[in-house]
Amino acid sequence: QVQLVESGGGLVQTGGSLRLSCKPPGRTFSTYAWFRRAPGKGREFVAAISWPYGTSYYGDSVKSRCIISGGNARNTVYLQMNNLQREDTAVYYCAASTRPLSNSEADYDYWGQGTQVTVSS
């Protein structure tokens, strides 16, 4: 079973930034995404990127504050998060798929273990 490896989570103050990384395990996928699960809530779509054109798509709650990049040619996938708020506190999951760009977790077959992001005031 292919498992993605996330890193970069941690504790940050309100207004701060973090960059999450996701390393594909030696194979290429056409689409990568980040989802998150806040305490007591379901998994929420954050961002996705699809190749060969590098098309990206963002969830409404992070649209102006996040940038997804990387993922082509087996490169690491990044999620740059800026101006973090307390409501961004969650476990962030990287996912991969051979399907086209999607914001539905059902379309992603490969997942990482998650990395915790905690935003404090």
Over its length of 121 residues, how does the chain's per-residue pLDDT go in tens digits?
Answer: 678 999 999 999 999 999 999 998 778 899 999 999 999 999 999 999 999 889 999 999 998 999 999 987 768 999 999 999 999 999 999 999 999 999 999 999 999 999 999 999 8
Q: Is 40 left (phi over 0), alpha (psi -120 to 50) or beta?
A: left
E strands, the chain, are: 5-7, 10-13, 18-23, 31-37, 43-50, 55-58, 66-70, 77-81, 90-97, 110-111, 115-120
